[in-house]
Structure 1
Amino acid sequence: MADVVRDVMTPGVVAVRPDASLVEAAQLMRAQGIGDVLVADEAGLVGVLTDRDITVRAVADGADPLTVSAEAVCTPRPVAVGPDDPVSAAVTLMREHSVRRLPVVENGRAVGMVSLGDLGDRSPGPARRTARTAQKDPFVQGS
């Protein structure tokens, strides 16, 4: 059984710049086969943007996804865990904040994501799917 977040997280991150359009973010999600991206700049993590955020916070209100930025719709200042935090701490944070995904941050940089599915699997992370593994920059994609 996994004891720390590093053992269950999906390594690597997929991120967009804060000024990326919702269309850019959605296209990246589709290309990577994922339902969320991090919103990040040079200073670090700005927020988390999910496919549901795009639908409920923008499209449902009639906003133009070509002109609305990821930063305007994302969940700002998301709760996060460290890779060496106990898995139980991730579970507790998810319950307390009613979230299904947590960024994993080490030394101020996002290094992965942990989701309810990851916690349910409880098998070592590197042997699992690697769709989140960054292709260019290990922190900011779509830049």
Structure 2
Amino acid sequence: MAVFVRDVMTPGVVAVRPDASVVEAARLMRAQDIGDVVVADGQRVVGVLTDRDIAVRAVADGADPQTVSARSVCTPDPVLVAPQDPVSAAVALMRLHAVRRLPVVEDGLPVGMVTLNDLAESEDPESPSAAISRAAPQG
């Protein structure tokens, strides 16, 4: 079993500016085949925007995705972890804050993301959740 966040995180971060449109963020998610982006103001993480945030906080409310900003629909002030933090700390933070992903930040810069699926795969690579997270997306 992995001991540190760096052992389980997905390295690299896809980020958008706070003033980026929801359409811009969604296109980036599609191009990168991911379900979330970090919202960063310079080198500071100010939020996490997920595909669900776009659907529930923008589209379902009838907002114009061309004009609505990433900052206005993202989850603000996300809980952060460092690569050297224990995996157990990441698990505890996810439980405490009821989140499925945590940006990984080192020296103030986002360097990765640790997700519930990353943790499931590290705990039991043969689990159904791990198998699903490894599967290629359809369509």
Q: TM-score, normalised by structure 2?
A: 0.86
Amino acid at match of 2:58: A
Match of 1:30 in 2: 30
Amino acid at match of 2:84: D
Unaligned runs of 5+ in 2: 124-133, 135-139
Match of 1:48 in 2: 48
Residue 121 (structure 1) shift: 1.0
Residue 46 (structure 1) shift: 1.1
The CA distance in 2 between the partners of 1:43 and 1:12, in whole Å, is 14
Amino acid at match of 1:115: T
Match of 1:94 in 2: 94
Bigger fraction of residues in helix: 2
Match of 2:108 in 1: 108
The CA distance in 2 between the partners of 1:20 and 1:42, in whole Å, is 13
Q: Which runs of structure 2 are paired with 1:62-141 in the superposition (5 Å)?
A: 62-122=62-122
Comparing both chains, which one has the higher relative contact order based on Cα–Cα distances under 8 Å and sequence gaps of 6 or more? 1
Residue 122 (structure 1) shift: 1.0
The CA distance in 2 between the partners of 1:27 and 1:69, in whole Å, is 14
Match of 2:12 in 1: 12
The CA distance in 2 between the partners of 1:99 and 1:43, in whole Å, is 22
Q: TM-score, normalised by structure 1?
A: 0.84
Amino acid at match of 1:33: D
Unaligned runs of 5+ in 1: 124-128, 130-143
Match of 1:135 in 2: none
Percent sequence identity over aligned pairs: 76
The CA distance in 2 between the partners of 1:47 and 1:28, in whole Å, is 16
The CA distance in 2 between the partners of 1:109 and 1:43, in whole Å, is 6
Residue 41 (structure 1) shift: 1.9
Amino acid at match of 1:35: G
Residue 30 (structure 1) shift: 0.6
The CA distance in 2 between the partners of 1:44 and 1:12, in whole Å, is 15
Match of 1:58 in 2: 58
Check if 1:39 corresponds to 2:30.
no
Residue 8 (structure 1) shift: 0.3
The CA distance in 2 between the partners of 1:34 and 1:75, in whole Å, is 17
The CA distance in 1 between the partners of 2:39 and 2:56, in whole Å, is 18
